[in-house]
Structure 1
Amino acid sequence: MAFTGSVDPKAYRALWRWHFYAGLIVAPFLLILAVTGSIYLFNDEIDDALYPAQRFVAVHATQVPPSRMIDAALKAYPGAATRIDLPGASNRSATVFVTPDRGEAL
């Protein structure tokens, strides 16, 4: 870009030089943020690929009501189930979050 205007050309070049160095310093941090943000964005898809046996179940004609899923989770982990995520689709498994010692919220 050609210089036009009444600004001192040396000051203009110095400003752009500082801008360039600032970009070199900040760029690695932005790259790290972009990569880790992408990993977090696709967290469910990555978990589906890494743990398909825990994330998917066989599809059946009928699905049990949520109350039976909650009862089964509480029976498997009495007094320790702190959160139960019910499946959004018929081929998904329910997730139970527990603490093994006191059953406190995770």
Structure 2
Amino acid sequence: MKLRRWPAHQIVWRWHFYAALFCIPFILLLSVTGGLYLFKPQLEAALDSRYEHLQLTGPAVSAQQQVAAALKAVPGAVLHAYELPLAPQSAVRILVRQQQVISRVYVHPQTLEILHISREDARFMRVMHELHGNLLLGARGSYLVELAASWSIVMVMTGLYLWWPKA
């Protein structure tokens, strides 16, 4: 009489297969977004490079005037943060909040010209962060990521069982 091994090889393989079908898309997405997030300083510097080498003819105006120009560009906003310029010829970045929306305003330090306005939640690295953390779905996306992480453990454990040499 031959003893039957438990669990059956086919059952473990099936669990491994279905766990992989569910997990692999999440693992690939999280790998790409996490890899991009590792290079956040370099990517943000590249995306903001057009605001780093401005032509200046004299000294910059006061920070108070720069903030006033940014607030004028976004009506009804209040000051949220002031980022110091990275270099003397860099644009000033002023974060303003209008209700629950935070916007980044790029201001020329001398002429007070508004070079660009962008919502903080629409910036590339912020989108990558949200995609990585919750798939842009809020709490439900976070639950899906956690579920995929849990099933990844099942996939690893069943993979080890299938790989382990049989006596």
Describe the shift of the 1:57–1:80 C-alpha distance in structure 2 as closer, same or farther (beyond 3 A). farther
1:77 aligned counterpart, secondary structure: helix
Alignment of 1:1-106 (within 5 A): 8=5, 11-54=8-51, 56-57=52-53, 70-78=63-71, 80-87=78-85, 89-90=86-87, 93-99=91-97, 102=98, 106=102
Q: How many residue pairs were aligned?
A: 91
Mapped to 2, the partners of 1:104 and 1:9 lie a distance apart of 57
The answer (yes or no) to whether the contact 2:83–2:92 under 8 Å persists in 1 is yes
Describe the shift of the 1:95–1:11 C-alpha distance in structure 2 as closer, same or farther (beyond 3 A). same
The answer (yes or no) to whether the contact 2:67–2:94 under 8 Å persists in 1 is no
The alpha-carbon deviation at position 32 of structure 1 amounts to 0.9
Provide the TM-score with structure 1 as the length reference: 0.56
Percent of aligned pairs sharing the same letter: 28
The alpha-carbon deviation at position 82 of structure 1 amounts to 1.9
> Structure 2 stretches of 5 or more lacking a match?
72-76, 103-167
Mapped to 1, the partners of 2:10 and 2:26 lie a distance apart of 25
Amino acid aligned to 2:64? D
Higher relative contact order (CA 8 A, sep 6+): 2
Cα deviation digits, residues 20-70 of structure 1 (max 9, x gap) = 33113211111111112223333332232233112x236xxxx98xxx763
The alpha-carbon deviation at position 98 of structure 1 amounts to 1.9
Describe the shift of the 1:25–1:51 C-alpha distance in structure 2 as closer, same or farther (beyond 3 A). same
Mapped to 2, the partners of 1:96 and 1:11 lie a distance apart of 63
- Richer in strand (by share): 2
Mapped to 2, the partners of 1:24 and 1:103 lie a distance apart of 42
Measured on the aligned residues, the alpha-carbon RMSD in Å equals: 3.6
2:24 aligned counterpart, secondary structure: helix
> Structure 1 stretches of 5 or more lacking a match?
1-5
Higher alpha-carbon Rg: 1
* Residues 12-21 or 71-80, more deviating: 71-80
